[in-house]
Structure 1
């Protein structure tokens, strides 16, 4: 049974965990929607700020190695894609997709979000598809805003419910949600903290009451008496078990099952991308999980449906061009988008490369964005569902200039 708190409530509970809580493996709801036609669209949010320079390595840029003496050296194990670009070795299992034209990348792309580099604001802007954040409670997601323009779009029957939809598919048009197992453990101190918060936060009170009821309804007791150290140990154990139990594959299996049926749109997240330290090791896990998800989707969808499918993997921002003192990277700006699927015109790199000379960097620290990630999403939806360009520029992503078609889909 899933237990999902509103992100505002979760922030209050997880402050001690640090900024990587934004990419918790426990927050993995799946949103689904029906649509007419045979095209399928899967949007995967990579929570935590994926380092696009490590995933898609510009080995042909003469400044790459000087900015990253340790990380660039690890590129010896990378996979050459073009004369200029290499792919991180942890994505080696995706190499056949590249060769078959089912894998592509967009370099130096970003949302309009700039300067503050907050995970939660960055993720909200990515999923809202807007320039600025709307007040809490008025935010809607760009996938949801597209749905009313699709004739015959319907809500897909829900399976197991958490309380929060992904913002990406949140809005006036009904969609369905499902999430894998999550158990609930609270210390007595944590319970007291919740009680204090509930006094002034009715939304949190209602959410927590439902969370406790849901957590107990599958036969597992809800634990309250536990030290704070033990609670943290339990949380880390839950996260370890989630990875060990291949939760990401359960999500891929469920999404594929629905997309083989009535559903045409699915969205979920893959976390673990906040690589402030020891990135050479820390990035392997999330890249391997993402690779497994994509290959599992291909396998479970089957050739006929895979050939009609576009997978868009998007992150809230990129990371700094220079590695830091702990052999990691910090929050940045321009990043990389990964696209997969039989409907994608793959085997190529999209977008303009800005260069890594200091004068070419954004604020002399980050990759300079040369495109708006929303435009790539808009063209993928335009080509998938045949809606007019004006719908995306005026309503789905109000004020966006999509430019000319990049011919993303076959």
Structure 2
């Protein structure tokens, strides 16, 4: 194992010249794990690039939806409530909804507002703090570990070019990075972006190859979509000592041609969840998955068939321990008067509150510690009743 010396922010600063695509880059697909006492399992998935929650979870019953998104509002798998439908690439999750193993928070976000930087948004999401992203020093999952008697971080690792802030901190963890450095200049990145836009099949193959292909020791590893490979390895560890895990999936930055560009990312997310469920077997009943993103996207599609950086977005929850088959937290509406700043979905509750309640219910942490130490300054509010 190797220590990853440069800080995440320093790496991202050097990568900033690549623009938005750097923060959502397929080269940055880390996975982190830590052991903790008890039999409950928690998986946190960071969806890098700002998932468009209005596309993943389409509010077909809102009278303003179709007008805001003339090319991004057709189709989907109805969830039986007469209002929401899953994106077609998430239709394989419908059985989980029906069995109570899937739920959504359709309008939530971190406290981050208006600046709309992927880098800052991801730092604040993983640090679990409000305010200046430059103050992000450690991650909320790491701080939670320090409150769990008998917990260790003897199995904590990052697969990719960056460290995961969410599990960084006082609890001892180890970072691992590929020995092979794959460097891309801005022009090469632009070329790949162009190819991804033109050919969605190339996008899926390209993301898979770039995410998994440069890691040493992967030549003999199981092949398949990136989400499947990661989930299978993750499940193997969670069948042993690992109890808390965090990984990130990329490809959710969809400024252009969203209809094509979002499909492989959602397919990869679905594959990750279904693979985890299958590989964990009976342990799925003790597992909760939280899928979170740095911010949402604009309610209106733009002139290139994409969406821009926004505010409110969707959170996905899954697992056999989940009290699912429902929408959590309400719906703000999509009329202009109901939008945040006249452009974005209005968040109704801090996404950190849902993570805090999951930690409390799964690991018996005190609400006072969660609101002061793990998520400083957070008002957890009433319980959303996430778990059975």
Question: For the superposition of Structure 1 and Structure 2, which TM-score range results when normalised by the shorter chain?
Answer: 0.7 to 0.9
The CA distance in 1 between the partners of 2:359 and 2:2, in whole Å, is 30
Map of 1:353-392 to 2, 5 A cutoff? 353-392=331-370
Which secondary structure state, in structure 2, belongs to the residue aligned with residue 283 of structure 1?
helix
Give the counterpart of 2:209 among 221, 235, 241.
Answer: 241
Which secondary structure state, in structure 1, belongs to the residue aligned with residue 243 of structure 2?
strand
Q: Is the 8 A contact 1:31 1:178 kept in 2?
A: no
The CA distance in 1 between the partners of 2:231 and 2:298, in whole Å, is 31
How much has 1:155 moved relative to structure 2? 1.8
**What is the TM-score when the length of structure 2 is the normalising length?**
0.87
Give the counterpart of 1:305 among 269, 283, 307.
Answer: 283
How much has 1:132 moved relative to structure 2? 1.5
Give yes or no for the alignment of 1:399 onto 2:367: no
Task: Tell me the equivalent position of 1:294.
Answer: 273
Q: Is the 8 A contact 1:3 1:163 kept in 2?
A: no
Give yes or no for the alignment of 1:276 onto 2:255: yes
Give the counterpart of 2:240 among 253, 261, 264.
Answer: 261
Q: Deviations over 1:317-339 (max 9, x none)?
A: 00000000001100000000000
The CA distance in 2 between the partners of 1:12 and 1:404, in whole Å, is 39
Gaps of 5+ in 2: 196-204, 213-223
Map of 1:6-25 to 2, 5 A cutoff? 6-25=7-26
How much has 1:21 moved relative to structure 2? 1.3
Map of 1:60-71 to 2, 5 A cutoff? 60-71=61-72
How much has 1:263 moved relative to structure 2? 1.0
How much has 1:239 moved relative to structure 2? 4.3
How much has 1:229 moved relative to structure 2? 6.0
The CA distance in 2 between the partners of 1:279 and 1:155, in whole Å, is 39
Which secondary structure state, in structure 1, belongs to the residue aligned with residue 107 of structure 2?
strand
Q: Deviations over 1:3-59 (max 9, x none)?
A: 976434433553453302111122122211111111000000000000011111111
Q: Is the 8 A contact 2:107 2:330 kept in 1?
A: yes
- For structure 1, which segment, 292-301 or 153-162, has the greater mean C-alpha deviation from structure 2 after superposition? 153-162
1:319/1:60 CA distance change after superposition, 3 Å: same
1:97/1:234 CA distance change after superposition, 3 Å: closer
Give the counterpart of 2:139 among 129, 136, 141.
Answer: 141
Q: Is the 8 A contact 1:31 1:175 kept in 2?
A: no
The CA distance in 2 between the partners of 1:238 and 1:2, in whole Å, is 27
Q: Is the 8 A contact 1:107 1:351 kept in 2?
A: yes
1:317/1:52 CA distance change after superposition, 3 Å: same
Task: Tell me the equivalent position of 1:58.
Answer: 59
How much has 1:287 moved relative to structure 2? 0.4
1:159/1:325 CA distance change after superposition, 3 Å: closer
Which secondary structure state, in structure 2, belongs to the residue aligned with residue 402 of structure 1?
coil
The CA distance in 2 between the partners of 1:18 and 1:345, in whole Å, is 39
The CA distance in 2 between the partners of 1:395 and 1:160, in whole Å, is 24
1:172/1:93 CA distance change after superposition, 3 Å: same
Which secondary structure state, in structure 1, belongs to the residue aligned with residue 146 of structure 2?
helix
The CA distance in 2 between the partners of 1:405 and 1:69, in whole Å, is 37
How much has 1:175 moved relative to structure 2? 2.9
Task: Tell me the equivalent position of 1:184.
Answer: 181
**What is the TM-score when the length of structure 1 is the normalising length?**
0.82
How much has 1:83 moved relative to structure 2? 1.2
1:239/1:6 CA distance change after superposition, 3 Å: farther
Higher Cα radius of gyration: 1
Task: Tell me the equivalent position of 1:173.
Answer: 171
The CA distance in 2 between the partners of 1:288 and 1:409, in whole Å, is 26
